[in-house]
Amino acid sequence: MKRTKRLALSLAILMASLAVAPGVNSIAHASGLEVNEDTLIKEKKPDIEIDENVSADQQKLEIAEVRGELTKAQKSVEGVEAADEKYEECLKQFDEAVRTVSLEIDDYEQSVQNGSLSQQKGVAGGSIYDLTTIPVRVQLLIRIGRAIRFGSTELSNKVVAAHTKLTEYILTGILYAANPFANEGQIMDYIDRFEALEQELLAYPDLSPEDIATIYKKAAYHRTIREARKVRNEANRTGRKFQAKVLDKEISKAASLWWRITVTCGELDAEEEKLIAAIEKVAGPKIRAEKIEFMEGEAGAINIDNKTKIRPVIMPAEVKNKDYLIYSSNPYVARVIGNEIIPLKTGNVIITVMALDNGITKDFELQILNPGESSSLPMLEPTGANDQYLRAKPNPVTPAGPVHNVADEVKDITFSVKSVEMKLDESYQLGQKVLVFPERAVDKSLTYQVANPEIANIDENGNITALNPGTTEVSVTSANGIKKTIKVNVADKPVEKTYEITNIEISPRKAGVFTIGVEATEDGKAYNGPCDIKLVYGDKAINHRIYLKNGKASKKYTGFDIPTWQDEVLATVNIKDISQEIEIAFN
């Protein structure tokens, strides 16, 4: 298959899976029609111009370096399992974007071998990509891979809203990485957003022990179960049958709890502690990476005519998996090939190291100096001469001179969501989910139209209001005629359920011990779910949560809960929005 058709197919798959109908330009690409290079986005590169004197061997070396960076992106999501359909979609689109960029690198290499690479345009054959943007696209994919891993680890105990926002950012980032109309500035800007986003998400509320465990909490819990099964299998393989049998019992307990719909975060945490203790009895304590330090300190400097390395140390020393990945925050200032840092431009850049053991990261600030200059920061040890920076030379386009190939019209419209899911009478701000490429288009005004106004209506700002249950489409059209559609599904309001507390039974108190039994129904059937009991005596109050199964549950109290000399207690039982009070008088 030729390069243009193959790339078009990859993009078509990506857009189709995101429920984005092909626009005029996408149809042209998918049809294999010739695309005028002058209509593509050609941003001025940051003080870099392709040197026409660079040998084919040097170009091949750089291609190998970029391919190595793409491998880092793939490794950044190794072992990550999707907790739900949102993360599954992220991983699917991530893989597709990696494949698309990989094909571009293949064709770039083929063009170099054939001598058909246009040095002025930076394109191969009929590529709709500016190939000089491939390194930054790869860098974005690396950052997205880190974000996917971040969601499966550090966000596992956060509320669902944190995961929803992260996955939307990830899918939008993948669009930037794969969309040929996204320029360097847009891609670099999106890379920079992830750090602030992750800090914002870490501030989202944690799940409390009483909260019903989310699917993300359960996914993290299930990873411990998988690890326990590996340890059990290894114990069986090495003849430690008794140890394997004991561990297998704990695995069974943990697995049965994982399947329970109403299991709380506190229950999962308690059982996970027991399972980890059982694992350690068989395999010994598992020491995870806690922090990363650098033998060079937290910052250093290097002259641009030298390559260098930093030496990360994964701590504590007992950590078995000391593998790590190194990334550059800006591949146009410095690249990281393997573990070697190759400066390309003077300035400051952040080099990030991520431990593969559990995804923790550490940043190193690198200052790149002109040849012969010194710095107040410690100078790093050179690992060899760097000739790549010699290719960097001033861009001949001056501020007062003309800028060629400036895109002044909208080329593409995409959405950061697959579809719009609403309930009757709800509102949705679709306008905030629309992405217009290029960002610097002169007229980015859009018009919105709904296919079936009986299902929903939409205003001039892209705000949708659900009117009736059903499915329709909303079309978004730019001033120059680029049009995309997105599906809108409106569901009926869920039928409100009726809850009733049918019985509260207080047992006699004997030796300070008594029991409160609760029976309840949901729509006339036995209720299964949480129930909160609050006991008030004097100026004190105690709270407990119990879980009804088949409509019944009870809670035992002792003299440690209610002093034996306390004869009067006010009990309040809450299920959903239903509450009952009962005065308890002990004789």
Neighbours of 559 (CB within 10 A): 14
Residue 24 within any structural domain of the chain: no
The rounded distance, in Å, linking the Cα atoms of 79 and 359 is 11
**Mean pLDDT value of segment 111-134:** 59
In this prediction, residue 59 carries a pLDDT of 66
Torsion over CA of 150, 152, 158 and 161, rounded to 10 degrees? 90
Q: Considering only residues 170 and 5, tell me which one the structure prediction assigns the higher pLDDT.
A: 170
Both 309 and 417 in one domain: the answer is no
Percent of the chain at pLDDT exceeding 90: 35
Residue 479: name the closest of 552, 413, 403, 569 by CA. 413
In this prediction, residue 402 carries a pLDDT of 40
In this prediction, residue 36 carries a pLDDT of 36
Q: Give me the DSSP letters along 297-320.
A: -SEEEEETTEEEE--EEEESTT-S
Count: domains in the chain: 5
Beta bridge partners of 429: 463
Measured in degrees and rounded to the nearest 5, phi and psi for residue 445 equal -65, 145
Taking only the tens place, the pLDDT of each residue in 311-339 is: 999 888 888 888 888 888 777 788 887 67
Residue 426 within any structural domain of the chain: yes
Specify which of 17-21, 193-197, 533-537 reaches the highest per-range mean pLDDT. Answer: 533-537
Both 241 and 277 in one domain: the answer is yes
Task: Judge whether 573 and 580 are in contact, CB under 8 Å.
Answer: yes
In this prediction, residue 467 carries a pLDDT of 94
CATH number of residue 93's parent domain: 1.20.140
The rounded distance, in Å, linking the Cα atoms of 318 and 560 is 43
Close Cβ partners of 173 (under 8 Å, ≥ 6 residues apart): 140, 143, 144, 147, 190, 194
Residue 34 within any structural domain of the chain: no
The rounded distance, in Å, linking the Cα atoms of 503 and 533 is 14
**Mean pLDDT value of segment 404-426:** 76
In this prediction, residue 60 carries a pLDDT of 67
Task: Judge whether 488 and 423 are in contact, CB under 8 Å.
Answer: no
Q: 21 falls in which pLDDT band (50, 70, 90)?
A: very low
pTM of the prediction? 0.59
Q: Considering only residues 130 and 486, tell me which one the structure prediction assigns the higher pLDDT.
A: 486
Least confidently predicted of 24-28, 206-210, 375-379, 498-502: 24-28
**Mean pLDDT value of segment 458-484:** 94
Both 462 and 339 in one domain: the answer is no
Give the N- to C-terminal CA distance of the chain in Å, as an integer.
Answer: 89
Percent of the chain at pLDDT exceeding 70: 82
Both 507 and 565 in one domain: the answer is yes
In this prediction, residue 400 carries a pLDDT of 40
Both 298 and 278 in one domain: the answer is no
- Say whether pLDDT at 140 is over 80: yes
- The whole domain housing 108 covers 1-13+55-115+125-203
**Mean pLDDT value of segment 161-173:** 90
Specify the length of the chain in residues.
587
CATH number of residue 311's parent domain: 2.60.40.1080
In this prediction, residue 9 carries a pLDDT of 41
Q: Considering only residues 254 and 440, tell me which one the structure prediction assigns the higher pLDDT.
A: 254
Residue 100: name the closest of 140, 48, 62 by CA. 140
Task: Judge whether 478 and 445 are in contact, CB under 8 Å.
Answer: yes
Q: Give me the DSSP letters along 188-206.
A: HHHHHHHHHHHHHHHTSPB
CA distances from 11 to 3, 25, 30, 177, 329 (A): 12, 12, 8, 11, 26
Residue 187 within any structural domain of the chain: yes
The rounded distance, in Å, linking the Cα atoms of 346 and 540 is 66
Residue 231 within any structural domain of the chain: yes
Residue 526 within any structural domain of the chain: yes
In this prediction, residue 326 carries a pLDDT of 86
